Amino acid sequence: MVKKLLIRNKFFVPLVTIPIILSLIGLVFIFEASAIRSVSAFGDSLHYLKYQAIWLAIGFFVMMFFSYFDYKKLYFFSFISLGVTILLLMIVLIPGIGLQAGGARRWIDFGWFNVQPTELSKFSVIIYLSSWFIHREKRRFLSFLTLVGFLIFLIILQPDMGTAIIVFLLSLIIYYLAGMNIFNLFLLIPVAAAGFFLLIKAAPYRLNRLTAFLNPSTDPQGIGYHINQILISLSQGGLFGQGFGSSRQKYLFLPEAHTDSIFAIIAEEYGFVGSLMLIILYFIFIYKIYHLIRLSPDKLSKLIAAGVFAFFNLQIIINLAGMVGLFPLTGVPLPFISYGGSNLLISFALIGILLNIEKRVKV
């Protein structure tokens, strides 16, 4: 009876519907949040909107490709994806090739567009580890640890702590769900936590973010400026918001208003009610993926769907928790809403894989 209800739910709201709705909402608010910056930087208020619209169109075709690409063939595709990821993560560190912004070297310039290799690393980790752990084997933990440690090392060199945390957590979740030895994780987690703590202590900007998180009133014009501007946006939104187009923080007060901090602009214009409706959309979307995990026809599809489930959950939770001061700001985008082509492409590629899995669910 439960399985019949799950299958019926599968067709109630198509899995792709909410990502498309969220992406269209994202286009509106990317224009809202970036128009002033676009004019000052490029003389064109539509600059970021046009690029995001192009990425959305490409993302749709990428999703369609993976929706028809048999997910069982991802076992072979994963080797190529991981190899390309490692290559790009090394290339981006080369001065003159990797673009540097805000003290980080995270983008490769291909002319009219930039690629962020760390976003591809999330995709590669999901499909590679899922394919790798189809069969249980003993003494695999050291190989797993070496691979994940190497990827995180390359990501930290950029540096990108937010992505490093997500890749690490994704790896642990897939390892656990694959039925590997859980006692290895009990040994790894405290060591990893100590390692991340040392990385925070070693880099002043990371320590500053942690300090601002623990006490936002510390140096409000310096290290606490970003989080304080976010809190101002949220407080000005109130219950119903200032109204569409009425944000004051978008006038270059709020850093990264069209990327990582876009939720603050939404909350300022549509208040608690509008923010809650957005979160409900995310909840329905995540709930749909959860049902697909329950219906997955084999271990590979179950691990991939669970990895995608963890991917979206981690990004949503880390971003929103950072916006309300429950987690340090890490530069993690809000899926489908924040400006950024690489994250949008990877998100739609993963949706395409889920659609392919969904086609093979026996009704």
Show the 3-state SS of 136-148.
CCCCCHHHHHHHH
Confidence (pLDDT) at 286: 95
Per the structure, the complete domain to which residue 347 belongs is given by 2-359
Which residues on neighbouring strands pair with residue 109, listed in sequence order? 114
Decide: 55 and 341 in contact? Cβ < 8 Å.
yes
DSSP state of 330: -
Task: Give the pLDDT band (50/70/90) at residue 360.
Answer: confident
Residue 178, number of CB atoms within 10 A of its CB: 20
pLDDT at 256 over 70: yes
Q: Which residue has the higher pLDDT, 60 or 142?
A: 60
Structure tokens at 280: 């409900």
Task: Give the pLDDT band (50/70/90) at residue 297.
Answer: confident
What is the C-alpha to C-alpha distance for residues 249 and 236, in angstroms, rounded to an integer? Answer: 10
Structure tokens at 361: 């669910």
Place of tokens 């899926």: 335
Burial (CB < 10 A; 0-12, 13-18, 19+), residue 321, is middle
- The tally of domains found in the chain comes to 1
What is the C-alpha to C-alpha distance for residues 103 and 120, in angstroms, rounded to an integer? Answer: 21
Q: Which helix (H) or strand (E) holds 243?
A: none
Decide: 363 and 7 in contact? Cβ < 8 Å.
yes
**For 180-190, how does the pLDDT look when each residue is reduced to its tens digit (9 = 90+)?**
777 777 777 77
Decide: 125 and 155 in contact? Cβ < 8 Å.
no
Confidence (pLDDT) at 139: 63
Closest CA to 134 of 185, 80, 70, 72: 72
**For 97-106, how does the pLDDT look when each residue is reduced to its tens digit (9 = 90+)?**
766 665 566 7
pLDDT at 86 over 50: yes
Instruction: Give the range with max mean pLDDT: 3-17, 283-297, 349-363.
Output: 283-297
Average pLDDT, the chain: 84
**For 215-253, how does the pLDDT look when each residue is reduced to its tens digit (9 = 90+)?**
777 766 767 788 888 888 888 888 888 888 778 888 878
Q: Which residue has the higher pLDDT, 247 or 302?
A: 302
Q: Which residue has the higher pLDDT, 204 or 284?
A: 284
What is the C-alpha to C-alpha distance for residues 335 and 305, in angstroms, rounded to an integer? Answer: 17
Confidence (pLDDT) at 2: 47
State the average pLDDT over residues 157-169: 85
Q: How far is CA 198 from CA 162, 195, 204, 205, 259, in A?
A: 15, 5, 11, 13, 28
HSE (side-chain half, CA atoms, 13 Å) at 52: 28
DSSP string, 69-134: S-GGGHHHHHHHHHHHHHHHHHHTTSBTTEEEETTEEEEEE-SS-EE-HHHHHHHHHHHHHHHHTT
Confidence (pLDDT) at 11: 44
Confidence (pLDDT) at 30: 92
- Give the N- to C-terminal CA distance of the chain in Å, as an integer: 13
Confidence (pLDDT) at 116: 83
pLDDT at 266 over 50: yes
Share of the chain above pLDDT 90, in %: 34
